[in-house]
Amino acid sequence: MPLAPPAHAWLRRKPVTTTESGSEADSGELRRSITLFQLTAFGVGATVGTGIFFVLSEATPEAGPAVVVSFVVAAVTAGLTALCYAELASAVPVSGSSYSYAYATLGEAPAMAVAACLLLEYMVSSAAVAVGWSEYLNALLGDTIGVRIPDALSGAPGAGGVVNLPAMVLVVLCALLLVRGVSESATANAVMVVVKLAVLLMFAVIAATAFSADRFADFAPFGAAGVGAAAGTVFFSFIGLDAVSTAGEEAVDPRRTLPRALVLALVIVTVIYLLVAVTAIGAQDWPRFDGQEAGLAAILGDVTGSVWPSVVLAAGAVVSIFSITLVTLYGQTRILFTMSRDGMLPAVFSAVDRRTLTPVRNTVVVAVAVGLLAGLVPLDVLADLVSIGTLVAFTVVSVGVIVLRRTAPDLPRGFRVPGYPVTPVLSILACLYLISGLSWVTIVVFAVWLVVALVFWAVYGSRRSALAVGAAEDDR
């Protein structure tokens, strides 16, 4: 058997009709039960919270008050990409997100590369969010009962601890909820989204009472480079838009609900992010954000001189971040499910439990991997890896819109990108700009991860994929 896959295998594409039907032999079946409201809540639930509750403390020291501009840059990039996602989601309404889109438009090897981006994005983001949850849980316990979890049990080895036990517990709780069923998970997430929006609006109202325009005087102390670097960091906050498209096979009327949910989630997310970021910077001098744990709760404590607002916000953050972890774990399990059904991964990842109609073993594997990351790796290392994985996946989606317009112009689309082809081109350029602002270490680590994924595809997926097996049978 030759070591390298045949040349035609690299760019063989999965037919869009097959992709839509999900009718491969022996594939698992998922239940269509997610409504437009629940799907929009998925996007908001996986997005609002990450950048505001704790990544703000990571990004503000990079850009100063101009971090507000960084959020705008990230939001514009996400907006351009969301339009591209909306078109592909309406044309190829299946699980797998941009992996499935790449498989249908660019070919098998590019699809594997995108899958590697998505797995990195979801696995690392789930872990990073769980680490942030641990910080707010400690703040809540300290303010309410005067007890904090010891540093040794609430921090990774690189962050002054031994293991982040609360973060690992959160991952287990989310996995248990996902195993019960996707409809139950979607309903629980929708409730948590309402709670988080109410808490963040409360923060903005209270913080506005201490707003001072003087805090924006030295607006961009690190110039355009600082704004770009911070934009790359806070882009971590927009992964929820991708999470919407992972639910393609479980959404009701996906050609209509997927694009609508994407646009609605983007609008809600952008408004909330800018409102909270502006009031937070206006209420606290920007250098104080550096290394600040549970930053928004701390700001409320300083503004009011009272404990109760920070307690409410910390409680809201605990609920909010639970919903983010829930959705990002869900997204990863569905991508693995689709890859396994395509033959790119072992069959265990597409096995569906007959009672719950969920991929239980898949979920357990994901929970173990994410739990170990959350317990043992510091937050600052995790955030940038999420950003680069997301940005590369978003770039591929934008390219996919252009390719599919050429290769399948008559394919039914429930939504078309306005301003085509300018919009997808601008989306590609914006993503590349944000990638350029990330550290070279992040880029190198990502490149190594990508090479490992492609080697795995060359050894395993290129020979066992459904397309490879079908081609071998046709040759007999």
pLDDT score recorded for residue 59: 82
Distance set, CA 151 to CA 132, 164, 296 (Å): 14, 9, 21
Q: For helices 308-341 and 165-180, give the axis angle rounded to 10 degrees.
A: 60
Question: Which of 20, 89, 161 is CA-nearest to residue 413?
Answer: 89
Integer Cα distance of 454 and 351 in angstroms: 24
pLDDT score recorded for residue 423: 92
Sign for the pseudo-dihedral over CA of 221, 227, 233, 239: positive
Map tokens 């395993």 to a residue: 460
Integer Cα distance of 235 and 282 in angstroms: 22
Query: What three-state secondary structure class fits 248?
Result: coil
Token representation of residue 23 = 């009718």
Token representation of residue 83 = 């339009």
Contact partners, residue 395, CB within 8 Å, separation at least 6: 427, 428, 431, 432
Q: Which amino acid is at 316?
A: G
Domains of the chain by range and CATH?
Answer: 35-464 (1.20.1740.10)
Question: Which of 383, 370, 382 is CA-nearest to residue 171?
Answer: 370
Partner residues linked to 28 by β-bridges: none
Distance set, CA 425 to CA 160, 195, 442 (Å): 44, 37, 25
Partner residues linked to 154 by β-bridges: 164
Q: Which amino acid is at 204?
A: A
Contact partners, residue 433, CB within 8 Å, separation at least 6: 77, 228
Q: What are the phi and psi torsion angles at 439 (to 5°)?
A: -70, 155
Integer Cα distance of 93 and 116 in angstroms: 21
Q: DSSP string of 137-150?
A: HHHHHHHHTS----
Integer Cα distance of 473 and 476 in angstroms: 5
Q: pLDDT 10s per residue in the chain (476 long)?
A: 455 676 677 778 887 655 554 444 334 555 667 788 888 887 787 777 555 766 777 788 888 899 889 888 888 888 888 888 888 877 776 666 778 888 888 888 888 988 888 888 788 778 877 877 777 787 778 767 777 888 788 777 766 778 888 888 888 888 888 887 666 666 777 787 888 888 888 889 998 988 888 888 888 888 888 888 888 777 767 766 777 776 666 777 777 787 888 888 888 888 888 898 899 899 888 888 887 766 777 788 888 888 787 788 778 778 777 777 887 888 888 888 888 988 899 988 888 877 777 788 898 999 898 888 888 776 565 666 777 887 888 888 899 899 889 888 888 887 888 888 899 999 999 888 888 877 888 888 888 989 999 999 988 988 888 888 877 666 66
Q: DSSP string of 262-288?
A: HHHHHHHHHHHHHHHHHHHHHHS-GGG
Distance set, CA 90 to CA 50, 93, 94, 145, 415 (Å): 27, 6, 9, 50, 6
Q: Note the maximum CA span of the chain.
A: 78
